[in-house]
Chains A and B, each alone.
Chain A
Amino acid sequence: MDILAPLVLVAPIAGFLVNALFGRLLPRRVVGWIGAGSIGLAFVFALVILSQVLGGQKLDQSYFTWWQSGDFNVPFNLYVDALSTLMILVITGVGFLIHVYSIGYMREDTGFSRFFAYMNLFVFSMLLLVLSGNLVWLIIGWALVGLSSYLLIGFWFERRSAVLAARKAFVMNTIGDVGMVFAAFLIFLNLRVLDFQGLFSRVHQLPKGGTIITAICLLLLVGAVAKSAQLPLHTWLPDAMEGPTPVSALIHAATMVTAGVYLVARMHLLYDWAPTAAATVAVIGGVTALFAATIGTAQIDIKRILAYSTMSQIGYMFLAVGIGGYTAGMFHFMTHAFFKALLFLAAGNVIHAFHEDQDIRHMGNLRAGLPITFWTFLIGTLSISGFPIVTAGFWSKDEIIRAALTAAGSEVVLGVLALITAGLTAFYMFRLFIVAFGWEWLAHDDRHLHEAPPVQTIPIIILAAGAVVGGYIPVASFLSPVFGQPAEVGTLAFWGLAGLTLAAAAIGFAVAYLLYARRPQLAVAWRTRLGPIHTLVERKYYVDELYDRLFVRPGLALARFLDNVVEPRVIDGAVNGVAAFFLLEAREFRGIQTGRVRSYALVTLGGAVGVLVIVALYLGYLPWKLGA
């Protein structure tokens, strides 16, 4: 395993280097297969690691010393346990399918090789993040994820909106990076360690629930919130839809936004030691889940609906890890990766079929036109809504809601939030499905639609299989070496709570069916009746506008002030002032330099006599003593 773990990292970075350096010279077919193949290779390595982890092995090995200063020593070490194994399996597995899909999806794009180079870099960064055995390399991976997401969101850089979205994502992520770095500072300051093993063994030296550990956990949370697009640093995620659709799939399913969940799960010993911080995680998760779900109900852009749904589902995961249900959170992470990748890739097919139009109201007749996409999207919708027993989403989401509702304290409130969110999820997903994909009532139009080629449909079918059977993967027992065995629940309680979740989802579905399939005029009527509330939700609670007023405009005003006043007056003023001073003084002293040899000689003579006099006085040869 000590060789396999670095190999998982080497494969994508090699793919990145080849495609970045020689991609333009290679034929597209080769570029595509290098890009996808490197991730596939990493997936194979990850499978071998899985077999060894199942055999009870662990890895915490230092490969080389990156730098050293006194007794401060940063090695490059990798840490492989069940948690990171689950992460790399999902990242490489789902990532591989997305790469294969991209071969078809991006085939007409002029930046084909650039695209695959960035994608490989993205996967590499994420793998580095989850495999790193110390905080320094975790932060490096963390920052690299931010960089590659910036490159991919702004992939179509000739579009102004894409560039702005990329910049927004980068700025938001940088806020999180700063939090992470400060958390690392605090950890090193108080515990003198940066590697996880040492951190986990020494964390109990700090007072439980004390200021220091709470501050560390909250700073880590700032990073997690920014990367995972939770409140209040969520605004970059919907805008990130400016990137190509496979990028959205990669960001939402396999990489990036799940990094925050991973971070909290990885640092679970710290969060167990800081209950206040853990509660903050749970509250942020629960509130974001509901917040994003409500926004999702009023959007008309297919990718934006899916983006808010991701925010909402990541909110579930935050809620889970915040109340100590780490297994439940990671389980939902895995199933979510399946169905969210599926939904995005299928949406990509739909968008292609409608010539890059993303408005769900313009779509329809997809069952006849894109049958494979239609059925797989339906599976994804059912899975995310928690359709009982046969879908993966049911098992994982139910576990989170159960964990919240059966908890001892005030977590019950969050459980109720999660229940409402479950209903809203079913509502907005079926609204999307009914409006975009067409129900029976929708008149069959004569638009001729083409199903995507097999290179795009086969990955979706595989993901659909995952979205169905993923719920039966025994994630809980696999992760038990890391998090311990989760509490058992009685069958009655299990099905009782599952019934609650199902009821919520069923209500959501019924409302969506009624409003958009049976009586569309009702939907219009309700929209006008809800008037301002609908607008509020449709405009995403005006958070963007609020940030614009609070931060962007004051920032711009400050920049303008600095540019117009400080720069010309103070900075230039100081520089020019110094120059002017010396110019003035130089004019005064210029008179001395006559160029006449004789005046120079006079000064030299005077100087020489002066020196002689000083030396004579110093040595005591006074004029009136010379005679003696």
Chain B
Amino acid sequence: MPVPAYTFLLLSGALFTLGAIGFMVRRNPLVVFMCIELMLNAVNLAFATMSRYLNSLDGVVFAFLVITVAAAEVVVGIAIIVQVYRAGRQMDVDELDLMKE
């Protein structure tokens, strides 16, 4: 019995919502990062689902692209977080408001 597509899409939406809420309510930069990854993977799941159901590889290609970009982004992000930690700032995204300047 085939599993209908909307179940995967509902899962994807749920994951994305969890990621978005987590991004907004958590203050630890590492957790915030993980929430971003969660959102990206929710999107990947949606891509993969549509790819499978439409019998097209386009969605999978996009999923790979997203994975690549996510990897690059993590590298930069973690580097920034490490630098902020070394500079002795508090590990709280609300305290890191230098972008205001």
Task: List, in ascending order, chain B residues with CB within 8 A of A593's CB.
Answer: 100
B75 on the A face (CB < 8 A): no
B24 on the A face (CB < 8 A): yes
Q: How far is the CA of A596 from the CA of B93 in the complex (A)?
A: 7
B23 on the A face (CB < 8 A): yes
- Give min CB distance, A88 to chain B, whole Å: 74
Chain B 60-101 per-residue mask, 1 if CB under 8 angstroms from chain A, else 0: 000000000000000000000000000000000110111111
Q: How far is the CA of A556 from the CA of B98 in the complex (A)?
A: 56
- Give min CB distance, A596 to chain B, whole Å: 5
Is B23's CB under 8 angstroms from A601's CB?
yes
Is A605's CB under 8 angstroms from B20's CB?
yes
How many positions in chain B have a CB within 8 Å of any CB in the partner chain?
Answer: 13
Given A601-B23, A605-B20; A595-B93 close (CB under 8 Å): no
Is B24's CB under 8 angstroms from A602's CB?
yes
Instruction: Select one of B93, B98, B100, B101 contacting A598, CB under 8 A.
Output: B93
Given A601-B24, A602-B24, A605-B20; A595-B32 close (CB under 8 Å): no
Is B97's CB under 8 angstroms from A596's CB?
yes
Is B23's CB under 8 angstroms from A595's CB?
no
Q: How far is the CA of A593 from the CA of B94 in the complex (A)?
A: 13
Is A598's CB under 8 angstroms from B20's CB?
no
Is B24's CB under 8 angstroms from A598's CB?
yes
Q: How far is the CA of A594 from the CA of B101 in the complex (A)?
A: 9
Q: How far is the CA of A596 from the CA of B101 in the complex (A)?
A: 11
Given A602-B24, A605-B20; A597-B32 close (CB under 8 Å): yes
Given A602-B24, A605-B20; A597-B100 close (CB under 8 Å): no
Of all chain A residues, which has the CB nearest B29? A597
- Give min CB distance, B5 to chain A, whole Å: 14
Chain A 582-610 per-residue mask, 1 if CB under 8 angstroms from chain B, else 0: 00000000000111111001100100000
Q: 8 Å CB contacts to A: which residues of B12-52?
A: 20, 23-24, 27, 32
Task: List, in ascending order, chain B residues with CB within 8 A of A602's CB.
Answer: 24
Task: List, in ascending order, chain A residues with CB within 8 A of B100's CB.
Answer: 593-595
Q: How far is the CA of A597 from the CA of B32 in the complex (A)?
A: 10
Q: How far is the CA of A594 from the CA of B23 in the complex (A)?
A: 17
Task: List, in ascending order, chain B residues with CB within 8 A of A598's CB.
Answer: 23-24, 27, 93-94
Is B20's CB under 8 angstroms from A595's CB?
no
Of all chain A residues, which has the CB nearest B25? A598
Q: How far is the CA of A154 from the CA of B43 in the complex (A)?
A: 82
Task: List, in ascending order, chain B residues with CB within 8 A of A597's CB.
Answer: 32, 93, 96, 99
Of all chain A residues, which has the CB nearest B27? A598
- Give min CB distance, B1 to chain A, whole Å: 22
Chain A 509-550 per-residue mask, 1 if CB under 8 angstroms from chain B, else 0: 000000000000000000000000000000000000000000
- Give min CB distance, A601 to chain B, whole Å: 6
Of all chain A residues, which has the CB nearest B35? A601
Of all chain A residues, which has the CB nearest B36? A601
- Give min CB distance, A236 to chain B, whole Å: 63
Is B97's CB under 8 angstroms from A594's CB?
yes
Task: List, in ascending order, chain A residues with CB within 8 A of B101's CB.
Answer: 595
Of all chain B residues, which has the CB nearest A605? B20
Q: How far is the CA of A593 from the CA of B23 in the complex (A)?
A: 19
Task: List, in ascending order, chain B residues with CB within 8 A of A594's CB.
Answer: 97, 100
Task: List, in ascending order, chain A residues with CB within 8 A of B96's CB.
Answer: 595, 597
Q: How far is the CA of A215 from the CA of B20 in the complex (A)?
A: 81
Is A595's CB under 8 angstroms from B97's CB?
yes
Q: How far is the CA of A567 from the CA of B32 in the complex (A)?
A: 56
Q: How far is the CA of A593 from the CA of B24 in the complex (A)?
A: 17
Q: How far is the CA of A595 from the CA of B94 in the complex (A)?
A: 8
Q: How far is the CA of A105 from the CA of B39 in the complex (A)?
A: 95
Is A596's CB under 8 angstroms from B23's CB?
no
Task: List, in ascending order, chain A residues with CB within 8 A of B27's CB.
Answer: 598
Q: How far is the CA of A597 from the CA of B31 in the complex (A)?
A: 13
- Give min CB distance, B42 to chain A, whole Å: 14
Of all chain A residues, which has the CB nearest B98? A595
Task: List, in ascending order, chain B residues with CB within 8 A of A605's CB.
Answer: 20, 24
Of all chain B residues, which has the CB nearest A593? B100
Task: List, in ascending order, chain A residues with CB within 8 A of B24's CB.
Answer: 598, 601-602, 605
Q: How far is the CA of A605 from the CA of B16 in the complex (A)?
A: 12
Q: How far is the CA of A595 from the CA of B20 in the complex (A)?
A: 19
Q: How far is the CA of A44 from the CA of B96 in the complex (A)?
A: 88
Is B20's CB under 8 angstroms from A596's CB?
no
Of all chain A residues, which has the CB nearest B94? A596
Of all chain A residues, which has the CB nearest B100? A595
Of all chain A residues, which has the CB nearest B32? A597
Task: List, in ascending order, chain A residues with CB within 8 A of B97's CB.
Answer: 594-596
- Give min CB distance, A168 to chain B, whole Å: 59
Q: How far is the CA of A601 from the CA of B36 in the complex (A)?
A: 11
Of all chain B residues, which has the CB nearest A602? B24
Q: How far is the CA of A168 from the CA of B96 in the complex (A)?
A: 69
Task: List, in ascending order, chain A residues with CB within 8 A of B20's CB.
Answer: 601, 605
Q: How far is the CA of A593 from the CA of B99 in the complex (A)?
A: 8
Q: How far is the CA of A426 from the CA of B93 in the complex (A)?
A: 103
Chain A 562-596 per-residue mask, 1 if CB under 8 angstroms from chain B, else 0: 00000000000000000000000000000001111
**Which has the most chain B C-beta neighbours within 10 Å: A594, A601, A605?**
A601
Chain A 54-79 per-residue mask, 1 if CB under 8 angstroms from chain B, else 0: 00000000000000000000000000
Task: List, in ascending order, chain A residues with CB within 8 A of B99's CB.
Answer: 595, 597
Q: How far is the CA of A601 from the CA of B20 in the complex (A)?
A: 9
Q: How far is the CA of A601 from the CA of B33 in the complex (A)?
A: 13
- Give min CB distance, B89 to chain A, whole Å: 13
Q: How far is the CA of A596 from the CA of B24 in the complex (A)?
A: 10
Of all chain A residues, which has the CB nearest B97? A595
Task: List, in ascending order, chain A residues with CB within 8 A of B94's CB.
Answer: 596, 598
Q: How far is the CA of A595 from the CA of B93 in the complex (A)?
A: 10
- Give min CB distance, A157 to chain B, whole Å: 55
- Give min CB distance, B27 to chain A, whole Å: 8
Q: How far is the CA of A119 from the CA of B97 in the complex (A)?
A: 72
Measured CB to CB, the residues of A under 8 A from B are 593-598, 601-602, 605
* A-B interface, 5 closest residue pairs, ranked by CB to CB distance from nearest: A595-B100, A595-B97, A595-B99, A598-B24, A597-B93
27 A–B contacts, CB within 8 A, in A order:
A593-B100, A594-B97, A594-B100, A595-B96, A595-B97, A595-B98, A595-B99, A595-B100, A595-B101, A596-B93, A596-B94, A596-B97, A597-B32, A597-B93, A597-B96, A597-B99, A598-B23, A598-B24, A598-B27, A598-B93, A598-B94, A601-B20, A601-B23, A601-B24, A602-B24, A605-B20, A605-B24
Given A595-B96, A595-B97, A598-B93, 12 more contacts at CB 8 Å?
Answer: A594-B97, A595-B99, A595-B100, A596-B97, A597-B96, A598-B24, A598-B94, A601-B20, A601-B23, A601-B24, A605-B20, A605-B24
